[in-house]
Structure formats: structure tokens, C-alpha cells
């Protein structure tokens, strides 16, 4: 029986708990949270000391505020525990590089929760692009909007802790686009300046990939309720698009006027993600998202934040932005 310890019991900690519980041969060893009352209310076992939890469990799931990720990852892998950590990998590039060096040192297994790769609609878009359905890709437009997230101590409202809507929400689409198009060359971004508008954030970014594709990204924590996402990729031979408001429909429009509609089966993406992590731990099967992938998404997201701060285009190079 694979014993799982969960550090952090907010929205994502609860989601990952449910996913782990559905996997045969996996049991929940204990849960640690800075506010243990939340765990007790759910009728679950509280672990008062995360260090003890790490020692008692076989694997660790980290779903805490972004600025704490490095600490928990390093402590877990130092004693040989595989780690699943919610995205983003860390709050800064320097922290991420420290983690990657430690992973290499301890030969550790660390997977980062970039869940968009596990949504069948997004996987179908990537496949359509790879199969040449739109010809040579040229332009992508992508939107992700939700209401402002609630969390203990309102940590999403702290740019220092969360990185705001770019690092916490837009990073989903940055990772997806890197998955589709490869390395990023440059990024330019703007936001509304959340220090002036508490509990709201909005950002736009333009990314140019080394293969020439230009992507326009919108991320919003200003939607009054619910959630919506949209993807559109245009190329020399057609257009593929998806809108979460019509989840069963993925439409490919060819330049010859032919329209193809697909209906990807909507499996639970969070479940698929956690199942791949367990397979990675038990059978060494590499997941869709590698640690390097998570690092690249973090690097581009932080370059977007740097562009917001400087008001200038930020060029990317291997290892860091310039």
C-alpha cells in the first residue's frame, strides 16, 4: 500500500486527496495544514507536524502557498520521498534551480501539477496541430478567466506569495503553449496593478516562440462567477478552437471550408494527473509534464511579470531571461 501524505488542505489539497483516494493500492497516511480545524471538520486524520508526516509517508503531495513550495520539496526529497507539488514549481527561478539541483543530487522524483495537459480537449488541440490540421501554425489566442480565488490569509492577494494572476493562472496556458510550440523567444505583458485594486487581477501577454508563432494570452481574476477558457490556433490551412462554455465541441475549420467537429471524452483531468504521478513513482513511467517543463513554464511566467514591472519586452534565453 502506497502511503500518501498531503501538506496543505485548501482547494487543491482537497482535490488531490479525492484523486488519490480513487487509486487502488493508495492510502492517505495523514494531512498537515497550518489551520488543522479544516481537516478535522472534514473528518480526516490531522498530522500536527509536517516533518513527522514526511517521515511516515511514502510520497508527499504539496498544495500550499507558492512561496512555501521550495521548503517542503527540499525537506521531502532529502529523505527520499517522491513529491507531487501544485503548480507553479516555485515562486522564483532561483528557488526552482535550487530544487532542480537537489532533485539531481538525491535522484528524486518530483512532478508538478500542470493539469491542463490532462484535459482531453487540450490534448486534442495539440494533436490537431501536430497532425497538420491547421497547416503551419501562426497565431494563437487563449483566455482563462475566473473569480478571485479564496484562500487562508488571502495569500493570492499578495504578489510576493502568489505571483498574481500571471504566475498562478496564466501559467496554465503558458505551459500548454510551450507543449504545443516549444521554446519561447520573447514576452511582453501588462496588468492592472493589483496593489490599486485588491481581490482582482487581470493581465494580457504577447509571446513570440522561436518557431515564429505569436500567442496572445488573457488571464483574469475579475469574472463575477464561474469559470471560462478559450483556445484558438490559426495556421496556413485552417483554424482549431475550443470554448469551455461548449465543452463537448472542438471545431477544426479548414481553409477549403470543410468543418470537422470532435467530441473528446471528458475524463477527470485531476484524476488522470495523479494517476500518472503514482505510475511514475511505482513504475518509472515519465508523466506528460517533466520537471524541466515546469521550470520552463515558470521561467516564461516570471519573464511576463518582469515585463509588467519594467514596461519592456523581455527576451528569453536558456537558463534565464534577459
Alpha helices in 90-170 (DSSP H): 93-106, 120-130, 159-162, 164-165
> Where in the chain are all domains bearing CATH 3.40.50.720?
2-114+273-290
**Topology given in CATH for the domain delimited by 116-265+297-321:** Dihydrodipicolinate Reductase; domain 2 (3.30.360)
CATH number of this structure's domain 2-114+273-290 = 3.40.50.720
Please enumerate in sequence order all residues whose Cβ is within 8 A of that of 145, keeping only pairs 6 or more positions apart, or say none. 218, 219, 220, 222, 223, 227, 228, 229
Whole-angstrom CA distances from 23 to 81, 232, 275, 307 are 19, 34, 7, 42
Residue-level pLDDT at 39: 85
User: How far is C-alpha 232 from the chain's CA centre?
Assistant: 19
Is 149 within 8 Å of 156 (Cβ atoms)? Answer: yes
Whole-angstrom CA distances from 49 to 74, 78, 85 are 16, 17, 18
Concatenate the DSSP letters of all residues of 210-258 into one string: TTS-EEEEEEES--SSSEEEEEEEEESSEEEEEETTSTT-EEEEETTS-
First to last CA, the chain: 47
| pLDDT values of the chain reduced to their tens digit, one per residue, 322 residues | 999 999 999 999 999 999 999 999 999 999 999 888 878 777 787 888 999 999 999 999 999 999 999 999 999 999 999 999 999 999 999 999 999 999 999 999 999 999 999 999 999 999 999 999 999 999 999 999 999 998 888 899 888 899 999 999 999 999 999 999 999 999 999 998 756 678 899 999 999 999 999 999 999 999 987 899 999 999 999 999 999 887 665 666 766 666 666 555 566 899 999 999 999 999 999 999 999 999 999 999 999 999 999 999 999 976 454 4
- Model-level pTM? 0.92
> Where in the chain are all domains bearing CATH 3.30.360.10?
116-265+297-321
- Which residue's entry shows cell 496588468? 191
Residue among 122, 95, 126 nearest 110 (CA)? 95
Amino acid at each position: 500500500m502506497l502511503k500518501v501524505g498531503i501538506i496543505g488542505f485548501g482547494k487543491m489539497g482537497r482535490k488531490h486527496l479525492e484523486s488519490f483516494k480513487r487509486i487502488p493500492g493508495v492510502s492517505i497516511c495523514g494531512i498537515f495544514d497550518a489551520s488543522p480545524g479544516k481537516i478535522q471538520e472534514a473528518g480526516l486524520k490531522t498530522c500536527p507536524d509536517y516533518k513527522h508526516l514526511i517521515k511516515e509517508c511514502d510520497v508527499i503531495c504539496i498544495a500550499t502557498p507558492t512561496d512555501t513550495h521550495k521548503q517542503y520539496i527540499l525537506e521531502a526529497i532529502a529523505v527520499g520521498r517522491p513529491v507531487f507539488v501544485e503548480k507553479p514549481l516555485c515562486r522564483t527561478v532561483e528557488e526552482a534551480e535550487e530544487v532542480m539541483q537537489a532533485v539531481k543530487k538525491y535522484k528524486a522524483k518530483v512532478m508538478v501539477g500542470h493539469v491542463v495537459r490532462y484535459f482531453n480537449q487540450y490534448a486534442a488541440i495539440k494533436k490537431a496541430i501536430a497532425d497538420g490540421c491547421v497547416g503551419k501554425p501562426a497565431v494563437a489566442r487563449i483566455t482563462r478567466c475566473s473569480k478571485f480565488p479564496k484562500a487562508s490569509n488571502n495569500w493570492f492577494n499578495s504578489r510576493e506569495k502568489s505571483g498574481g494572476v500571471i504566475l498562478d493562472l496564466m501559467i496554465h496556458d503558458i505551459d500548454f503553449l510551450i507543449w504545443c510550440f516549444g521554446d519561447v523567444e520573447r514576452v511582453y505583458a501588462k496588468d492592472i496593478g493589483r496593489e490599486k485594486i485588491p481581490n482582482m487581477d487581470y493581465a494580457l501577454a504577447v509571446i513570440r516562440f522561436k518557431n515564429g508563432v505569436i500567442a496572445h494570452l488573457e488571464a483574469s481574476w475579475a469574472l463575477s462567477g464561474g469559470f471560462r477558457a478559450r483556445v484558438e490556433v490559426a495556421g496556413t490551412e485552417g483554424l482549431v478552437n475550443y470554448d469551455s462554455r461548449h465543452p463537448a465541441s472542438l471545431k477544426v475549420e479548414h481553409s477549403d471550408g470543410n468543418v470537422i467537429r470532435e467530441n473528446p471524452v471528458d475524463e477527470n483531468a485531476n484524476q488522470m494527473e495523479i494517476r500518472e504521478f503514482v505510475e511514475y513513482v511505482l513504475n518509472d513511467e515519465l508523466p506528460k509534464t517533466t520537471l524541466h517543463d515546469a521550470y520552463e513554464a515558470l521561467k516564461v511566467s516570471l519573464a511576463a511579470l518582469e515585463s509588467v514591472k519594467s514596461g519592456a519586452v523581455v527576451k528569453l534565453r536558456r537558463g534565464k531571461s534577459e
